[in-house]
Amino acid sequence: MIQSFIDLRSDTVTHPTPEMRQAMAQAEVGDDVMGEDPTVNRLEELAAEKLGKEAGLFIPSGTMGNLAAILTHCGRGDEMIVGHLSHTYLFEAGGSAALGGVHPFVVPNQPDGTLRLEDLRKAVREDDPHYPTSRLIILENTHNRCGGVVLTPEYMQAVGAFAREKQLKLHVDGARIFNAAVALQVPVADLVRDADSVTFCLSKGLCAPVGSVLCGSREFIYRARRIRKQLGGGMRQAGILAAAGIIALEKMVDRLAEDHARARLLAERLCGVKGLVVENPHPQTNMVYLRLEEGISIDAPEVSAQLEKLGVKVDWVDVRRFRLVTHYWVNDEDIHRALAAFAQVLRSFSPR
C-alpha cells in the first residue's frame, strides 16, 4: 500500500497484502449462489473449523453478517438484548428494526465491554402478551466502543450458560474476535464455544479487502443462507474475494500481536503529550481512545484537520475525543511520526 499518510482511522483501511492480490488473481471460482465456488467453500470450511462450528457462510460485510444472524434467530416483534455501546445497536443503521421488525432491549455496557448477568436477567421478558418475546443476546468481542477490550472465555461461557437457561440464543459480534484470541492467548474456539452464531471480519486487521464469515450449526447456516439471499448478499464468483480471506485466516492472525504492541506504545507515549488524556493507557488490543484536556481551546475535528496536514489521519468520535487504530500498514516509524504530529499540534494549544 503506497501512500504518503499514516492512517490510524480504522483497521478497515487496510489494503490486501501482495500475497492476497496474487491469490485473488489465481483463485479458482464458480457460482457461489449455486454453491459451486470452490474457493468460497474452502474459506467457509476453514472459518468454521477455526471457530469450532459446523458451518460458515461468506457474507459481504460484518453488518450484513450480524443482520443475517439476527434475522435467522428472530422473527418480527421478537426482542434482542444488546449493549448500549454495541456496534449492532449504534452503527448498523437500525437494520434489525428496519428489515426484521426486531425490537432491541438495551442494557448498559460496563467499561470492560461486558453486560452484567444481573442486567441480562432483568432484561429477559416474562411470557405475557404485553411484552415482546425475548429471543437473542448479542455480545461484542473485542468491544469496539469500550476501547477494543477483550471479553474472557469465562465470561462468554457464563453468558452462554445463562442464555441456555433462559432458552435464548447467543450471537457474538466477533468483528475482531481474532484480536481477542491473540490478546488472551487462547484458541478462538474457546471464546465462542457457547455461541449459537458468530460473525467475524476478514476486512479489518486481517487485511482482506472485503468480507465477513458467519458461523454456526449446519442447520443455522442453512437458514442464514436464504436470509443472505433475501438481503441481496448472494455473490457469484466470490472466490476472488474468498481467496484473500483464506490468506487472512492462515497468515494474518498471529501477527495481530504486533498491532497490539504498537497500540500499547502509542498509548504509552501519548500519555506524555500535554493536552491529551489517554482513556485506555494500557490497550488490550489495537485501539487507543483519547480526549482533549479540559483547558484545550480547539476541538477534535480541528486537531484532526491539523494532523492531516502533517500526514496523519485519525478518527474523531466526538467533539473532544479520538479513536486511533493500529494495523498491518502502520509500522514503528509511523507510530513515532504520528506521536510527533500530535505533539506538534497540541503544543500551541496547551493550557498555560
Ligand X SMILES: *Cc1c(COP(=O)(O)O)cnc(C)c1O
Answer whether 190's CB lies under 8 Å from 203's CB: no
Residues 136-175 close enough to bind ligand X by CB under 6 A: 140, 144, 173, 175
Nearer to ligand X, 124 or 330 (CB): 330
Distance CA 228, CA 272 (A): 48
Segment interacting with ligand X, rule: CB under 6 A, options 36-44, 56-64, 106-114, 153-161: 56-64
Q: How far is the CB of 9 from ligand X (least distance, A)?
A: 12
196 binds ligand X (CB under 6 A): no
| C-beta of residue 178 within 8 angstroms of C-beta of residue 253 | yes
Least Å from the CB of residue 48 to ligand X = 19
User: According to CB under 6 A, which residues from 169 to 188 bind ligand X?
Assistant: 173, 175
Question: Can you tell me which of 13, 146, 201, 307 binds ligand X, judged by CB under 6 A?
Answer: 201
Q: In what order do the strands lie in the sheet with 55-59?
A: 55-59, 212-216, 197-201, 169-173, 133-140, 78-83, 103-107
Q: How far apart are CA 52 and CA 67, in angstroms?
A: 21
Q: Is 114 in the site for ligand X (CB under 6 A)?
A: no
Residue nearest to ligand X (CB): 62
At 250, list the grid cell: 492462515
The region of 57-65, 245-253, 267-275, 285-293 touching ligand X under the rule CB under 6 A is 57-65
CA distances from 281 to 9, 232, 268, 276 (A): 18, 42, 6, 11
Q: Could you tell me the three cell numbers for 328?
A: 498491518
Select the residue interacting with ligand X from 87, 103, 169, 323 (CB under 6 A): 87
Residue nearer to ligand X on the CB measure, 124 or 244: 244
> Which member of 17, 39, 63, 72 binds ligand X (CB under 6 A)?
63
* Distance between CA atoms of residues 14 and 329, nearest Å: 7
Straight-line distance from the first to the last Cα atom of the chain, in angstroms, rounded to the nearest whole number: 41
Please report, as ranges, the residues that interact with ligand X according to CB under 6 A: 61-63, 66, 87, 140, 144, 173, 175, 201, 203, 212
